[in-house]
Every structure is written in structure tokens, then in C-alpha cells.
Chain A
Amino acid sequence: MALVACMLDSCRRTSPVIVALLFVTLFTSVSCQPPLEVDGDVSVIRRATSTDPKTIDPHEAGDVLSSTMCGLAYDQLLEYVYFSQDAELKPCLAAKMPEVSPDALDYIFTIRDDIYFQDDECFPGGKGRKLVVQDIEYSFKRFATLVDSPGYWVLQGKIKDLDGWRSRVLALSSESDNSPETEKRRNEVFEQKVSGISILDDHRIRFTLTEPYPQFLYAITLSYGAIVPREAAQYYGDKFSENPVGTGPYKLREWRHDKHLIWDKNPTYREEYYPIVPEKLHLPAGMPTRESFLPYQGKRLPLSDRVVVQVLKEAQVSWFQFQSGHIDTSLLDKDTFTTAVQNQTKLTSGMAGKGIRLTYYPSPTISYLSFNMDDPVVGTPAGVKGAAIRKALSLSFDQADYIKRYLQGQGEPATMLIPPGVFGYNDSYQYRWARYAPEEGIRLLKDAGFIVEQKGGTVVTKDPKTGEQLQLLVVQAGQSTASADYARYLNFSGARIGIRVDSEQVTYSEYLKRQQNGIGQAYDSGWIMDYPDPQNMMQLLYGPNAKTINSSSYNSSRYNQLYEAMSSIDHTSPATSAADIQRKKDLVVEMHRVLDDDCPWLIQYFDKTYVLTHAWQNTTLPNHFAYNIYKYRYSDPRLRIDLAGDWNKADALPGILFACLVVTVIVMFVARIVRQE
């Protein structure tokens, strides 16, 4: 009561305005907004990601984010040439490109002599040791025996004796007892030689393949081909996925799950320099000029001292952090696109005024609808009628309109399965059904014997046997706004030709089950290319891959034949003749001609990535297949403070108004008590 009495007394003597002013002063002086983090002259790359990385174990990294994080700490035998236009590979941990035997079965790698693992407590004295050739053997064997790894498909059936040896190790891993004897036996089996991986001397290792595998070098340049030290994997055990120890440019200082990852420059990183910018650097539209890369050439890599990756799960938060200069780059999504970009290629004045740069480029990611070729209505069993439905539906889908309406232009209509910029892309080829021509679709349906009724603007296509309207059920994975938009547009497209298209959204695991068991008429699908070989895309329709990656279960003997011929040509090998390289390109087109007849897919678009970058960070060349491009990034700390230093100052007026409101309520409450007292 003494407190109340004191309040009453002070209220009597002090006007509410003065109380309000005191409150406002307090409120504004303790404003919680932190200033922009200042790191002196330390160059820090700040970026955001929408999820926590699943792992930083390169042998288990099956997604882009995890692979990118692994790319900071680990290296592979080879890496992509930074300024290459054709996704060319170059030696990384290898001293030179591998020697390949004439039958293309043996690959001999010679490793560099100047590579050290990062300093870590797993090594004696905490000092990272030199990379030895045994590390290469160990890494591939480790990768092969991780039962949880999503990546073994890249080597399965490819390296001599590896599958058999793997089965032996896994057979012991599944023993229910973990007795010392079993453990010992398991280790013994692990140490057994794999005839396909043999150490020749202190610096050379040979991989022997079971059959020519032209994509082998690309496969081992994926995250799965990273070289890890045995000491670290054994020392950290189950925690190895959180304690990366590699030969890469950065060393993990802290990983706070769901919050951030902080990487520091690896002090023992090998001597490597930013490459010389080629005189004739062909940059696609949406990329800055050659000159913007010149200031960095010849500088020691990695260019920046630290990388901070924040986990920001909501796109809005990421956008706010970018606007206030707390992160350096931002990918544009549907919501932020209109705020930042006008006419698809230009920044709005607000963005340009802050010195922000816009870059955009196509991604090797295709979206498509795969028809179930085993389905009695739309598949092969339906013969001409099924083909007519597939083709008509493809013709009713307006790619450009969909990209404009639902993707805000962030897509490129797909004219074939191979994306632009990837070997095999042919700009003079046009997939026959990837165009908007609903009238032609209606004609196809009529020719196939369906009854098409057109009344006013409504079209209804009926099956002459049942008299019912044709219906198609599309299976979609997940429930997102994007998938709902897509379902709506498919329904809208189907209505143009009188087919009712419904969608069912199921969980991802259910989606996989449906595909595997062939349940469903069509599947909403997409594919991110793993490496820049057309084989990686064309395998999605290869007969033996049915019910796994071939969700259509498409099986054409002609297509399979062409696929086998095409995928056996190594277009990257210097030994391959120009004629064979051209033949591979021709085979890709020939395979598309087979698809022209059958139309197992409704192909839609390739993703197009739009990125905003603050002026203090340099531009990096996009390479969707390389995960180690952070070493080429540089953030200018002084320029950042000069530009963004004032972007976070508090605005007093709204706070004053809010404080007045709070004070008024309190005063009213107290006044009422006083009156009643």
C-alpha cells in the first residue's frame, strides 16, 4: 500500500506529461537496436540460410547447403575451373589431371606434396599433418561404408570390387552384437584391399573401374569425393559431422545449431591465388563486367578472413537483415522480387541508391510433370488415347504465363531437358510439346476419339465409353504455397482442353512410396543436376531406372539404346575426338526426338536465380556444381561501415507516441483507484 500511496502522491504532484516524457527518455535511451557489427579490418562474409545444415560430413552431404558448408572445410582431388565456361575440371589435391588408360578403366592420380590438414586436436600435438595417399584410399572406403549416406549411387557398380567389399563391411555392421570380436572382425574387413582402389607408391593411387564411366571425374568432384583424415573420423566418431577437419580454406570455429556457423580462415591453407581473368571472358546477361573481377586476380586465397552463416528461417527476416547491412547477399523470392526489381532486369531506385547490385543467371534445375507411363488412362496401356492426353495437356500449359504469374519471371521456359549453359543444350531444338497451343491439344484429343464439347468458353472432354469427363490426378510432395499455385495452374490449364486436373498433396515419404509403387497418374517433379553431363538429366527417363529416378517408368528401347551410347562418350577427355563430342550432342537431340513421339513429361521451366549483393562484397561467378567458391569471395569491411553505418539509427517519434499511450493507461488506472479510495 505504501507503493500505491507513493504513486498517488507523485501523480498528484507531477503532471502526466512529465511522467510521459520521463518514460520516453528511458525508452529511447535503452533502445535495443545494436549498431552494425564492426570487425575493424577483418573481412567477414555474412550470409544467411533458411535451414540449419544437416551435416558437415562430406560423405553424407546430399543437399546443396550441407555440400556448400563442406566445401569450406574440405577439398576433392579435382575442382571446377573458376573462370571456365564449360564446367572444366582442374587438379585440386591432385598434382595434375589423372592419367587415364586407353580402355578408360584405370585412373591414376598423383597427389600434391604440399597439402596439410587443418590443425585440430585429433592430431598429435594438435598440428595438422601432411596429406598422404592413404587418405585418399581411406576416404573412398569410408564413404562406401556409410549406411546413412545418400550418395553411394555415384559409385555403385562402378569401382572394381568396391560393392563386394562394401557388402562385407555392412554385413558385419548389421550384427546385433557390438562385441569386441565383431568390432575387430569389422576393422579387419575394412582394412582389406579393394582391388579397384590401389596405392601405387607414396604419391600415386589408381582407381580401376568395372566399365567405362565418363562421369567418374565429375562424380568424385561432388562432396562425396572429399578427402578426410582417418584420425578425425575416428577421434570424433559420431560427432565427426559437426567437427570438420579437412584441407580446405576455412576452419569451423563454432556451430550453434539453428543459430549460426562461424568459419575462420585456415592458417595452414596451401598457397593458392585468385586466377587470372581470361581476356575473352564470356559472361551471360545479368552478370557484371569482366573488369569487376580484375582487382582480385593474383591475390592469395581465401580472400576473406571469416565466414559467418546465420540460420534465418523466415524469408522476411533474411530480407530485413539484408536491408540493414547485417548480411551481404540476398536471394530474391516472390515477395521481395517486386520490391527490388523492375522490368525483370533493373533494380528499383531504393535498392540502387544503397549501392546494391543485381545479378541473375539460370540454374540447372528443371521442373516437370512426369506422367505415369504404366497408368491405364494416361500411360502406354492407353495407347494413342493416353499419348493424346499427355500431349494435349503439355500443349495447354503456358510456360511463359506461369513463370510470369507465379514465379515473377524467375524462370526460363524449358525448350528441352538440358538447361542452357550445360553441355548438350541446343538452342535450335524445341521439344515438340513444350509450347502453348491448346487448340492443337483439343484437335489431338478429338483425333484420338475423345468427345470434346465446346460451349461458350467452356470445354469438356469426355471418354466415349463412359461418357464421363476425363480426369487426371497429380501427386505432389509437401504442402507449400508454391505447390498449391502449381496445382491451381494445372487445373486451369486442363480446363482449357476440357480435362479436369486435380492434385493431391502428400508427405515426401508418401510421394516416394507412390512413385515406387506406380500409384498415381502424374507426379509433380523436379531435378537439380549433380554434374554438368547430359547423362545426369537424361538418366531420368532411362528404362532400367524406372520406379526410382525415372518416375514416369518410361521405357523405350530406342531411348535406352541412345542413352547408353550417349553416356559412354566422355566429352571432357582430351582423348575424345571432336567428332565424338559432336556425336554426343547429336545423340542428346536424337533422344529428344524419341521423347517427341512419346511425351512422357510435361516440361516446364528451368530456375533462374536472382541475387542482390551489397557494394562491399565482390561478385562471384555462379557455378552450381562447385561448392568451394567461398574462397573467391571478398567483403570490404571499411566500405561496409561507410555505406551501412547509418542504416540502423533509431527513429524517436513513434516511440514517444507509444510511450505516451502506455503512460496514459497507467495514469487512468491509478486515477481510478485514487477516486475510489
Chain B
Amino acid sequence: MWTFITRRLLYMIPILFGVLLLTYVIFFTVNDPQSVARTKLGGVKASEAQVTEWLVVNGYAEYGPSGKKKKELAISGHGEPDEIMVKLTDIEMHSDVVLFWNYVKGLFTFNFGKDNEGREVSEILKEGVIPSLRLVLPGFIIAQLAAIFFALFAALYRNTKIDRTLLIASVLMMSISPVAIILFLQKFLANEWHYFPVCGYDDDLLNGIRFLALPTLIYVVVSLGSEIRFNRIVILDEIGQDYVRTARAKGVSQNSMLFKHVFRNSLIPFITHWVVALPFLYLGSLLLERFFAIPGLGDLTIRAVGNSDVNVIRALVFIGTVLYMFGTLMGDVLYALADPRIKLR
């Protein structure tokens, strides 16, 4: 097993490098550094001198021969404003190799730099990850438990009207847009009937429950449709196996067969499903956080892309990739623990 884990850990290095290279290429193909500077410096109002200075100060370029002369002239305190005013022609952009090195350096020591507004990215992540997890983690756990409950329910009533109704309800829930479900439940449960606050967040865990109750409920409702369908199929698939027939023939009771044998053997697909989803939970839920004013990381990625915020994007990509790779590794290890037939080599 240890050989397997070491090999997988070593695989991670080229994968991580590849992902970072890909995001670098995509980011700087869409946004060249000059556009990033202009976006930051007030768009059309930014002057050429401002953009030039920004590019140099932020490590995208260095002064060329004419720029160095102007700089020396400026430092010496001589020269008219027109003579020392730098232009884009006075600088030389760094090569892609240098820019890529600037892009990745610091990541491995978790030094993510600052966002466009000057806040430390690690601070943003630290501040936002707790609210996101407080919303998503209970929602995820409840949704999985409820989905297992309903899947077992469907198995108990399989091939009856109840089973079919549940199936139709699941498909319906999958078909309705999450935004519609949020709008509907927020409007009625919070705004019309006043069972929950419309929005809000409290750092205090106990006081915060009232604010998180409705978004968690909606998270469960939104996830439930697909989860029930998935779990139902897995369980029904297991029910059709030979060992179940054998168990029945040996006189094992229906409940014992369902809860002891079928459920245990369904764990492998469930684990695969969970470990793939878990690493992304730290990013929270974009829609729920927006609609319930939860200060999490939900819309951080979208905002970073919109603002061409390179430091935030690279941090999120780095963390996401690392967590995903560790998640899949953990999944493989858990398979071996859940199923003695699986050997890790």
C-alpha cells in the first residue's frame, strides 16, 4: 500500500505542474498584462505612463535602455516631466518563462500574494472557508443521509406506485433549476411565512444555526434528486446480485438483507461519489452564498475571473488541484478498507 501511495504522490507533481501551466496559458491568453493593468487602473481613464509604471512595479516588465535612462534622470532629480515620463516603449516585457516562474513561485510555500484590492489571498481564503464549510458540509452530510434513506425507502417499496412516485419526484427535482428552488423556498419559507431569516450569517456557531438552516435545507433539496436516483440505482443493482438471492434462499429476513448485506456492498460506489465531491466543498456554494449573504468563498472564483485577479485564480487552482488529488488518493485507500478483495499495489 505504501508503494502505491508514494507512487501516487509522485504522480501529483507533473499533474500539478500541468494544471498550473494550463491555467497560466488560458489566463494570459485572455488577459495580457496590459489589460490587467488597465482594468486595475480605472479602465479608459488610465494613462500610458500609469500603465507602464504599474507593469514594472508589479513585476511584469523591466525598463529597457530608454526607460533606464529616464529612470536615472528621474532619480537624479533632473529632467523635465516630459523627459522622464515613461511610456510603454520604454519597457521590455518579461518572457513567458519568467512570468510563469513568477506565477508559480510562492505557491508551494502557500504564499499566494495579494488580490487586486491588496488583501492577502491566504487571508481571504481563511476568512471565507469557515462560512462555506458551515453551509456546505452539514448540507452535504444531510443530503447523503437523506438520499440513502430515500433510496432504501424506494428499495423497500420497489416496483410499487410509491417507488415510481419517488423516481418521478427525483427526476423533477433534478430538472428544476436550483435558482428556481432557491427563489421559491426563500420567498415562501423566509419572506412570506417567516420561518427563517431571509439572509444573514453569524460567526457564533449556535446563533448562526438559524441563518444556516434554510440554505442548508435548500442545499439538501437541490442535491436530493440526483442523489436519490444514484443511490437507488446502486442499491437496486446490489439487490439483483446473486448473493442476495442466496441470502434470501437461506431465509435471511428482508430488513437484515437490506441493511446488513446490500447497504454494506453499496459503499464502494458511494465512497467514489463522496471523495470526488468532498475536495470541492471548501469552495462553498455560489448560489446559496449569494442568495443568503453568507460571506464564504462561493463566488470567489467567478469574481476573480471577472476582475482578472491572477493571484486569486492561481491560489484556487492550486488548492483545488491538490485537494482533488488527495481526495482521489484517499478514495483508493478507502476502497481497500471497505472491500478486502481490493489490493493496492
Answer whether A and B are interacting partners: yes
Task: Report A's interface with B, CB cutoff 8 A.
Answer: 27, 31-34, 54-55, 62, 147-153, 156-157, 161, 163-164, 167-168, 170-174, 189, 192, 238, 241-242, 256-259, 310-314, 316-317, 320-321, 323-324, 326, 507-510, 512-513, 515-516, 548-549, 551, 648-651, 654-655, 665, 668-669, 672-673, 676-677
Q: Is B292's CB within 8 Å of the partner chain A? A: yes
Query: Which residues in B have their C-beta under 8 angstroms from that of A316?
Result: 183, 186-187, 291
When C-beta atoms are compared, the residue in chain B nearest to A164 turns out to be B81
When C-beta atoms are compared, the residue in chain B nearest to A319 turns out to be B191
Distance of A549 Cα from B45 Cα, bound (Å):
6
- A549 to B: closest C-beta gap in Å: 5
Query: Which residues in A have their C-beta under 8 angstroms from that of B74?
Result: 164, 167-168, 170-171
User: Which among B40, B53, B194 is the interface contact of A150 at CB below 8 angstroms?
Assistant: B40
Most chain B beta carbons < 10 A, residue from A258, A507, A513: A258
A320 touches B190 (CB 8 A): yes
B192 touches A153 (CB 8 A): no
Chain B, residues 192-220, CB within 8 Å of chain A (1/0): the string is 11111111110000000111011000000
A549 touches B44 (CB 8 A): yes
Task: Report B's interface with A, CB cutoff 8 A.
Answer: 30-32, 34-36, 38-47, 49-50, 53-54, 56-58, 63, 70-71, 74-75, 77, 79-81, 84-86, 114, 117-119, 124, 127-128, 149, 153, 156-157, 162, 183, 186-188, 190-201, 209-211, 213-214, 253-255, 290-293, 295-296, 299, 306, 308
Distance of A258 Cα from B302 Cα, bound (Å):
14
Distance of A62 Cα from B116 Cα, bound (Å):
13
Distance of A673 Cα from B157 Cα, bound (Å):
10
Distance of A153 Cα from B19 Cα, bound (Å):
39
B34 touches A55 (CB 8 A): no
Q: Is the interface of B mostly helix, strand, loop or mixed?
A: helix
B117 touches A241 (CB 8 A): yes
B77 touches A676 (CB 8 A): no
Query: Which residues in A have their C-beta under 8 angstroms from that of B53?
Result: 147, 170, 174
User: Which among B57, B187, B306 is the interface contact of A174 at CB below 8 angstroms?
Assistant: B57
Query: Which residues in B have their C-beta under 8 angstroms from that of A676?
Result: 156, 253-255
A54 touches B117 (CB 8 A): yes
Query: What are the 6 closest A-B residue pairs judged by CB atoms, nearest first?
Result: A150-B42, A509-B35, A32-B210, A258-B295, A259-B295, A163-B81
Q: A34-B210, A171-B71, A548-B46 are in contact. Are A512 and B38 (CB under 8 A)?
A: yes
Distance of A515 Cα from B188 Cα, bound (Å):
46
- Subset of 8 A-B contacts with CB under 8 Å: A147-B57, A170-B53, A174-B53, A320-B187, A320-B199, A512-B44, A668-B153, A672-B153
Distance of A651 Cα from B296 Cα, bound (Å):
30
When C-beta atoms are compared, the residue in chain B nearest to A50 turns out to be B290
Query: Which residues in A have their C-beta under 8 angstroms from that of B156?
Result: 669, 672-673, 676
Distance of A32 Cα from B206 Cα, bound (Å):
12
B40 touches A148 (CB 8 A): yes
Q: A548-B47, A655-B193 are in contact. Are A32 and B214 (CB under 8 A)?
A: yes
Q: A316-B186, A512-B44, A676-B156 are in contact. Are A654 and B35 (CB under 8 A)?
A: no
Query: Which residues in A have their C-beta under 8 angstroms from that of B38?
Result: 509, 512-513, 516
Distance of A119 Cα from B190 Cα, bound (Å):
41
Query: Which residues in A have their C-beta under 8 angstroms from that of B198?
Result: 317, 320-321, 324, 326
User: Which among B34, B196, B306 is the interface contact of A32 at CB below 8 angstroms?
Assistant: B196
Distance of A507 Cα from B39 Cα, bound (Å):
10
Distance of A671 Cα from B144 Cα, bound (Å):
23
Query: Which residues in B have their C-beta under 8 angstroms from that of A310?
Result: 293
B57 touches A508 (CB 8 A): no
